[in-house]
Amino acid sequence: MESMEGLHTMVRKVPQAQAALRLQAGPAGGRAKGRVELLERIAETGSISAAARAQGLSYKAAWEAVETMNNLSALPLVERTAGGREGGGTQLTARGREVVAAFRRMEGMYGQFLAALQGHEDFAMFLQSLWRLNMHTSARNEFLGRVAAVKQGAVNDEIVLDIGAGQTLVAIITHESTEHLGLKPGVEAYALIKAPWVILTAADSPLKTSARNRLCGVVSRCQEGAVNAEVVLDLGGGKSLAAIVTNESIKHLGLKPGATACALIKASHIILAVAH
């Protein structure tokens, strides 16, 4: 089922395993069952802030979870709506509702599967091994896509990744990494980009740069800290990109919700990964 691509099972407790599924976002490791519960609360309340409170999350953490899920889905799972409380609301898309329903159905089937395996003496050891292999990453930006092209060089290769919504990312990796990951046209892969590696510019900037990737969109959120700020750029099609810039840069570029901007990313700053 396309809407459940990337759905894997992971047991929360070892050795007494419980029937609890976790959404796995590729190389970032398991996404907790709480992500599905967050989607359910968004559907119930029509508000990201209300859903966050019900889930015990900060507003920022809830939106980061939503942005990650949208980036890793072929179609957006959550979308903003006009009107409603505080001038707007949030709701699940048809794809989002499909994912939640499918997850709950699979959770029931998974419980039956666990019950059948509990009697095996090596079951707990097997689950513990899987748990230790579960990997997490600090990269703020995660995109799921398919390799559109591979241009081989003597040492490095250029990989073009189609992430949907008319957007592509170009990464430069070693030829050895290309072979190790099995990257070729049509292969599904993940792109990881740390927020500090993203450079923001005004959309109408005439400057030419050596950055291979240029993604433009509309600023959806700015959160300033003591020195730096996180800026989230809406790329369209449910995709978003987060950048960490200085507060001074926010003022200099006139970045605020609704403003247009472009993100520059060096091809060497994109990490590619595949799920096996």
Interval 190-239: pLDDT, tens: 999 999 999 999 988 888 888 999 999 999 999 999 999 999 999 999 99
Q: Break the chain into its structural domains and give their ranges.
A: 2-133, 141-192+269-273, 195-265
- State pLDDT tens for residues 16-40: 444 444 444 333 334 547 888 999 9
* Top CATH class, 195-265: mainly beta
Q: Residues 26-75: pLDDT tens digits?
A: 333 345 478 889 999 999 999 999 999 998 999 999 999 999 889 988 88
127-180 confidence digits (pLDDT tens): 555 544 455 667 889 999 999 999 999 889 999 999 988 899 999 999 999 999
Question: What CATH number was assigned to the domain covering residues 141-192+269-273?
Answer: 2.40.50.100
CATH number of 2-133: 1.10.10.10
Query: DSSP string spanning the chain?
Result: -GGGTTEE---SSSSS-----EEE-GGG-EEPHHHHHHHHHHHHHS-HHHHHHHHT--HHHHHHHHHHHHHTSSS-SEEEEESSGGGEEEEE-HHHHHHHHHHHHHHHHHHHHHHHHTT-TTHHHHHHHHHHH------SEEEEEEEEEEE--SSEEEEEEEEETTEEEEEEEEHHHHHHHT--TT-EEEEEE-GGGPEEEETT-----S-SEEEEEEEEEEEE-SSEEEEEEEEETTEEEEEEEEHHHHHHHT--TT-EEEEEE-GGG-EEE---
Please say if the pLDDT value at position 12 is more than 70: no
- The structure's pTM equals 0.67
Question: Do 195-265 and 141-192+269-273 have the same topology in CATH?
Answer: yes
